[in-house]
Homo-oligomer: A and B are copies of this chain.
Amino acid sequence: MLGKVNHIAIAVPDLATATATYRDTLGATVSAPQALPEHGVTVVFVELPNTKVELLEPLGAASPIAAFLEKSPAGGMHHICYEVDDILAVRDRLVASGARVLGDGNPKTGAHGKPVLFLHPKDFLGTLVELEEV
């Protein structure tokens, strides 16, 4: 059911510093920042040979990562995104198994313009899981 790890997201208090850490200190290739007002974040992707790291900075007053950064002001791993073929079929199977989908249960459009859903961390080992249809 699970496909590739599309990305691992790291919430950061300052995107410029975080980008410099990955680009200059760790020598990785990074994208230009992309504002996603619908998701309340600005993102930079770190391009690795087999997957991506997504650096997330809060955007706007109601950013969904603001509470995370209050608890972890230096930043930290925020979620992991797995690719799936058919997000509605996977959602229905997970819900039938007792897992909880965040929000209204319907996919939103993610950073790559594809349908995404988030699953409740309490049902997945304390880890926020994003599913992205590819």
Using a CB–CB cutoff of 8 Å, the interface residues on chain A facing chain B are 1-5, 8, 10, 12, 18, 21-22, 24-28, 48-51, 53, 55, 72, 74-77, 80, 82, 94, 97, 99, 121-127
Contact = CB atoms under 8 A, between A and B. Distances in A.
Contact of A1 (B1, B26, B82): B26
B5 A121 contact: no
A50 B122 contact: no
Given A1-B28, A53-B80, A74-B126, 7 more contacts: A2-B26, A4-B51, A10-B126, A24-B97, A25-B97, A76-B121, A76-B126
Protomer copies:
2
A22 B55 CA distance: 25
